[in-house]
Chain A
Amino acid sequence: MTGLEEFYEILKDPVDYGRKLKGESRRKIVGYFCSYTPEEIIYAAGAHPFRLFGTGEAIHLADAHFQAYCCSLVRGALEGALAGRLEFLDGAIFPHTCDSIQRLSDVWRMNVKGLFHLDVVLPVKLDTESAKTYMSDVLRKFTCDVESRLNITIGKEVMQDAVRVFNRIRGYLGRLYEVKSTYPGIISGSDLHSIIKASMIMDRDRLLEILPGIVTELEREKGPGDETVGKRLVMAGGICNHPDIYRIIEEAGGVVVGDDFCTGSRYFEGTTEIKDDPVAAIAERYMARPPCPAKHTGLFTRADHLVDIVWEKKAQGVVFFFLKFCDPHAFDYPYLKEALDRKGIPSIMLEVEDQLPSEGQLQTRFETFIEML
């Protein structure tokens, strides 16, 4: 669709965008790694939360710090920092999730200089009262840390306003997914991916200037139904950093109508209540949100959630899309697949490193899978 040039422009060179934003807005730019980063707090402190993805470039410098069996997201992020490409960052935030991000934080702290460094060691289990208290405690401590690093005091109203901003963004992204599911042909998968990804990188105020228009226009427009578009699929995994995958799936006769990605629905699901204690409210959203597999909310919650997405989106199959060496996702795969099998939902699994496998190979796999549905 048209009107997305701004998003594509940002994604073409996020680093360049970050530099320019810093120069123009004079705001501090704070890099972060995962969807458990409380962006609201960074925003409330007058800084800009900038999500970091793998580098996409060849890895040399990070090889001196991390073995080859460390995932490309972690190695790529360190490469970017060591190569000086992230010099525009004023700080970096490391929420605790998996063993690799945990060590990335250490190695980054020890080797990357010139910016502040904050860990947010969240609880791993999210289903107990004590974990909930601890989650609030950690976010409160994080707020103090951010305040001291940025030399600012965040008032309650400012924090509540920040919560509203992110609620609005999440709300619009959710509506975008809804409209895609209702009229799968209305926007291509890679266009949708680009909006979501750019929304984690770009100036959030600017995002809220253009996103509502895009969403309402799509909602008004309506579009062709499934028949003309393809077999309905749901994707599941961690980070999806490959817009091309959507085009390849579409060319093979499928269409992605929903996902369980942390660069997708896990990022925007759940609204934060506007409360007297906004930080506690942010903590509550994390406790309730669909979890990353590095967190525990129960033995079957992730499978139940995935099956729910498939049913809700009336999908015919699931594409598991994993980053190689991502342990939490790889551990959950057999049980998630089994849960889908039991419900008669076919699935296919793809494991990628920084780059996608050859397009021809992918095309054949998807065509075979989609024909079977």
Chain B
Amino acid sequence: MSLIQEIFLFFLAGIRKIFLRFKKNKKMKEILAVYYMEAKSTRIGGRKVAWITSGGPVEPLIAMDVIPVYPENHGAMIGASKMGASLCETSESMGYSSDLCSYARSDIACATVNGGPIGGLPRPDMLVCCNNICGTVLKWYEVQARYFNVPLFIFDTPFCHTGFSEEVRRYVRRQLDEYVLFLEEACGKKMDHGRLSNVGKLSLEAQRLWQAVLDTTVNRPAPMSAFDAFYHLALIVTLRGTREAVDYYRQLLERMNDRVARGAGAIPDEKYRLLWDNIPIWHRTRWLSEKFASHNACLVADTYTSAWCGSMKYIDENNFFDSMAEAYTRIYLNIGVDEMACMVLAMVDKYNVDGIVMHSNRSCKPYSLGQYDIAKIVEKERRIPSLILEADMVDERSFSESQVATRIDAFMEMIKASKQ
């Protein structure tokens, strides 16, 4: 059995337990801890470890047998473990401003103190930074490249304010070749393009299945909520392009379809349906889930987990490698606010939601700046209200539970009144 399969199975074992959580909830931090423990032990197998950004092209790594490790995922785990504040403080003592991204701050702190829920990530042999999600990752990966003294590949995906131009396509396409050369040098072997093409097919298949899973929530009641999607997301981020991810999402889809058939809802009595925007508030996911459930409100969809299957339309199944250029450039966060608003409107219609909950995330400017405009567009076009929650995905110091609770209560009162 390959190491990647081993990690996966370990990971899967954890995930399955959550899956059963529909009865018994195992915390995400434990599952992710298992995954990373395993990733750490893979060094024994002599495989290379690459740290890669969450929006980065992972398929070439899988095809080269490199173990992908996700610092952002690590950040999420730190947040879920409520270890964010203390690690962020550590990074602040290293000179990093408290206004910086808390994924970056906590990960940078973890690397130096081997802290956090799993004692730091496995040491990278190389770093792959794709800036399709933000400019922050560039700075973050520069910090880590200096710290670990390992090669850094920057996959530069120019921002698409109003479309995708030919010069961008040429530039990104050329970088795909550079990326392959980088990996060949780092791994000391040639890329097997046949294998990469198969990995591409599996990646696309997993993305289709993931979209199908998310689509099950068009049903009333929704068989799962965005909070469940936050958990199940892990594999489409980390291991897309593997057979295991495909199998996992196929099974998940079957179970969701089964729940739909049985009329089993994610919350006991779904009366109101909401859309979540932005990265989860990792340190309060359960609290938020319960808070909304207490109002019979289910967060049935979100703009975050759907980002990993949002650019499928640009993928050419028979020419995966070339089409990665466009697919990786035109992802949700790398497009204009107006185009994002159009996608939100489409989700409002598809999932038939009564309101939007927006996490105004201090840590993530590309995701958060522009939210006010999106909220206004949705209010104008669909006459549904938005709630904006000021918080941070990892650093719980900027979260006021009582204030947020009051605002949620008021928002739900408004939704209830409008539905009567």
Contact with B along A295-314 (1 / 0, CB 8 A): 01001100000000000000
> Closest approach, in angstroms, between the C-beta of B326 and any C-beta of chain A?
15
CA of A99 to CA of B208 in the docked complex: distance in angstroms? 30
A99 in contact with B337 given A299-B145, A331-B140 (CB within 8 Å): no
**Which residues of B sit under 8 angstroms from A156, Cβ to Cβ?**
none
Pairwise interchain contact B95-A99, C-beta atoms closer than 8 A: no
Query: Nearest Cβ in chain B — how far from A301, in angstroms?
Result: 10
With beta carbons under 8 angstroms apart, the residue of B146, B178, B336, B369 that contacts A67 is B369
Residues of B within 8 A of A134 (CB): 158, 167-168, 170-171
- Cα–Cα, bound, A102→B362 (Å): 16
B154 to chain A: closest residue by CB: A125
Whether B175 contacts A130 by the Cβ 8 Å rule is: yes
Chain A residue numbers with a CB within 8 Å of B156 are: 123-125, 131
B323 at the interface (CB under 8 A from A): no
Residue of A nearest to B101 (CB): A327
Number of interface residues of B (CB under 8 A): 49
| Complex contact B143–A335 (CB within 8 A) | yes
Is B136 located at the chain interface by the 8 A CB criterion?
yes
6 A-B pairs closest in CB distance: A334-B95, A331-B139, A137-B167, A134-B171, A103-B369, A106-B337
**Does B159 lie within 8 Å of A102, measured CB to CB?**
yes
Q: Does B360 reach chain A (CB closer than 8 Å)?
A: yes
User: Given known contacts A107-B337, A334-B96, is B170 in contact with A137 (CB within 8 Å)?
Assistant: yes
B319 contacts partner chain A, Cβ-Cβ < 8 Å: no
Number of residues in A with C-beta < 8 Å to the partner?
A: 51
Query: Smallest CB–CB gap between B112 and chain A, Å?
Result: 11
State the Cβ distance, B138 to closest chain A Cβ, in Å. Answer: 6
CB proximity to B under 8 Å, residues A47-87: 64-67, 69-70
Contacting pair A109 B161 (CB below 8 A): yes
Assuming A64-B372, A69-B362, A96-B158, what are 13 further A-B pairs, CB within 8 angstroms? A65-B373, A69-B368, A70-B365, A96-B159, A106-B161, A110-B373, A121-B161, A121-B168, A123-B158, A124-B138, A125-B154, A327-B101, A331-B142
A103 to B139, CA, bound (A): 18
Quick one: which of B155-185 are within 8 Å of A by CB?
Answer: 156, 158-162, 165, 167-168, 170-171, 174-175, 178
Give A residues with C-beta under 8 Å from B. Answer: 64-67, 69-70, 96-100, 102-107, 109-111, 119, 121-125, 128, 130-131, 133-134, 137-138, 141, 293-294, 296, 299-300, 324-325, 327-328, 330-335, 337, 351
Whole-angstrom distance between the alpha carbons of A100 and B134 in the complex?
A: 10
Report if A99-B138 is in contact (Cβ < 8 Å); known contacts: A130-B174, A141-B165, A330-B100: no
Q: List 15 A-B contacts (CB under 8 A).
A: A65-B372, A67-B368, A69-B365, A70-B365, A99-B369, A106-B336, A111-B373, A121-B158, A121-B161, A124-B131, A133-B170, A294-B135, A299-B142, A327-B365, A337-B95
When C-beta atoms are compared, the residue in chain B nearest to A101 turns out to be: B135
Does B385 have its Cβ within 8 Å of any Cβ on chain A?
no
- Answer whether residue B370 sits at the interface, using C-beta atoms and an 8 A cutoff: yes
Best-buried of A65, A141, A333, A337 by chain B (most CB within 10 Å): A65
Q: Is there an interface contact between A70 and B369, defined as CB atoms closer than 8 Å?
A: yes
B366 part of interface (Cβ distance < 8 Å): yes
Query: Are B100 and A121 interface neighbours, CB within 8 A?
Result: no
Contacts of A141 in B (CB 8 A): 165, 167
Complex formed: what's the CA distance from A331 to B138 in Å? 10
Which residues of the other chain, A, contact B414 by a CB distance below 8 angstroms?
A: none
Contacts of B145 in A (CB 8 A): 299
Given known pairs A98-B135, A110-B373, A124-B131, the reply for A300 and B168 (CB within 8 Å) is: no
> Which residue of B has the minimal Cβ distance to A121?
B158
Q: Does B338 contact A (CB under 8 A)?
A: yes
| Cβ–Cβ < 8 Å partners of B97 in chain A | 330, 333, 351
Chain B nearest CB from A324 CB (Å) reads 7
With a cutoff of 8 Å between Cβ atoms, the chain A residues found around residue B161 in the complex are 102, 105-106, 109, 119, 121
Within 8 A of A (CB), among B343-371: 360, 362, 365-366, 368-371
The answer, among B170, B171, B338, for a CB contact under 8 Å with A110, is B338
Whether B152 sits at the interface, judged by CB under 8 Å, is yes
CB nearest neighbor in A for B165: A141
**B369–A137 touching, CB < 8 Å:** no
C-alpha gap A106/B372 in the complex (Å): 12
Chain B residue numbers with a CB within 8 Å of A69 are 99, 362, 365, 368
Known: A67-B360, A106-B338, A109-B161. A299 touches B152 (CB 8 A): yes
State in angstroms the CA–CA spacing of A218 and B165 once bound together: 49
- B113 lies within 8 A of chain A by Cβ: no
- Pair B99/A128 contact, Cβ less than 8 Å: no
Check: B94 CB closer than 8 A to any chain A CB. yes
Q: How far is the CB of A335 from chain B (nearest CB, A)?
A: 6
